[in-house]
Amino acid sequence: MSDSYQPIDPLRPDLDEGTNVARTHGAVVEDNAAITRERRVREDGMEPVSLWVIVSSAFVLLVAGAVLNAGGGLFNYHEYRVDGYVQREAPGAGDSGPATAPIMDALVKNGSKVYSTCSGCHQGDGMGDGASYPPLGGSEWVTGDTEQLAMIILNGVNGAITVNGRTWNTAGGMPAQALRDPVQLASVMTYLRNSFGNATGDVVTPEMAAAALEIYKERAGGSPTPPQATEAELKSDHAKMLSGEVMDPATVVDLETFQPVEAAGAVE
């Protein structure tokens, strides 16, 4: 045993003579067996970048480019939709065809809109005002022959006219209505004949309305302002139904062309 100062070797444990080095070392090894097994992490691999990585990265860059292209307008903070966006029609919507409905419903619905012009005089309930404008509900001119009704609408009426037992003779009579579209005319006629208490249950088809317009043109003889009709004329010349194929009110028609559709129940 020496009293002299010995330099400390950091690699050797601080020991006195009584320590069994082998046992101490064994304890270190055994207690920390897992640690002494460890190898060092080496990061000195210098392999070149694999071609697979480059090729797949290039492909992915293309895909990402396509994604960005789909968006467009990079870093525009005020555009919330793709530039020029307009809603697309549902694909295949054309295949199922336009909307359809039974012809009676379609015409009555449209006719109610056309009637708004008439309601100024004949009132919304079709009962007239009791003084100047005759009622339409229960009127034989409405529920009778369709040609008479068409002529009244297209030419107007002048002079005395008896409606439901009461004579009406308003100054100036009823003005002519400028309805030249067969669908509009057919709509309002069907509406009148099936509303306000009237229930003829039949439809005036656009075909019949077109025939009425022909009659109107013939009567007018080229004049843009033909004379109003009179009761006598209506009774003598026009007391018949308009020509045209009679259509079952339940026939399903295309709402744009008002032609019957082939397949029943071809609704969207």
Partner 1 sequence: MATDSDTIKHADDDLRPLIDRSLRHPVMFFFTSAAAWLAVALILGIVASAKTHAPEFMGNVGWLVYGKAYAAHLNTLVYGWGCQAAFGVIIWLMARLSRKECRNPGTILLAGHVWNFAVLYGVIAILSGGGTGVPWMEFPAAVWPVLLISYVFIMAGSVVQFRCKEGGHTYISQWYLLGAIIWFPWVFTTANILIFNFNGHPVMDAGINAWFKSTLILLFFVPVGVAAAYYLAPKVTGRPVHSYALAQMGFWALAVIGPWTGMQKLAGAPIPQFLPYVGAAATVLFFIPAVTVAVNILKTVAGHASTVAASPTLRFTIAGIFGLLALGVMGVCLNFPAGLRFSQFSIAGYGFEILAIYGCFSMCSFAAMYFIVPRITRREWLSRRFISWHFYLSAYGVATIVICTIGGGLMQGAAQEYWNMPWSDAATRQYAYGWGTTVSWLFILFANVFFLLHLLLMWARLGRRSQHPTLLHQHHSESPHGPEGDIDEIQAANA
Partner 2 sequence: MTFRTFSLGLLGTFSLPWLLIVVVPYATMQRIQPVEFNEDDDGRTGPYVPARPGRVTDGAAVYAANGCYTCHTQLIRPTYAGSDMWREDWAGVHVAADNIDTRRETSVFDFNGEAFAQIGLTRTGPDLSNVGHRAESYVKGTETTPEEWFLMHLYNPRGDFEYWSSCPSNGHLFTVRKKTGQGSGDALAVKARKGREVIPTADARALASYLYSLQKDDQVPYSLNYSPDKKRAIEQ
- Interaction of residue 8 with partner 1, rule CB under 8 A: no
* Phi-psi domain of 81 (left: phi exceeds 0; alpha: psi -120 through 50; beta: other): beta
Dihedral (Cα; 160, 120, 188, 145), 10-degree rounding: -10
Distances (CA, A) of 264 to 13, 64, 245, 247, 251: 101, 49, 20, 15, 9
Give the span between the Cα atoms of 158 and 16, in whole angstroms: 140
- Interaction of residue 160 with partner 1, rule CB under 8 A: no
Q: Which does 38 bind (CB under 5 to 8 A by kind): partner 1, partner 2, none?
A: partner 1
**Near partner 1 by CB under 8 A: residue from 7, 18, 84, 92:** 92
**Near partner 1 by CB under 8 A: residue from 3, 16, 17, 43:** 43
Q: Which does 255 bind (CB under 5 to 8 A by kind): partner 2, partner 1, none?
A: partner 2
Within positions 67 to 126, which residues make up the interface with partner 2, using CB under 8 A? 70, 75, 77-78, 80-82, 85-90, 93, 98-101, 106, 109
Minimum distance, C-beta of residue 45 to partner 2, in the bound complex (Å): 16
Residue 156 and residue 229 in contact, taking contact as beta carbons nearer than 8 Å: yes
- Interaction of residue 213 with partner 2, rule CB under 8 A: no
**Near partner 1 by CB under 8 A: residue from 1, 67, 171, 178:** 67
Minimum distance, C-beta of residue 54 to partner 1, in the bound complex (Å): 10
For 234, residues 6+ apart whose C-beta sits below 8 A from its C-beta are 141, 148, 151, 152, 157
Which is closer to partner 1, CB of 5 or CB of 77? 77
Residue 160 and residue 234 in contact, taking contact as beta carbons nearer than 8 Å: no
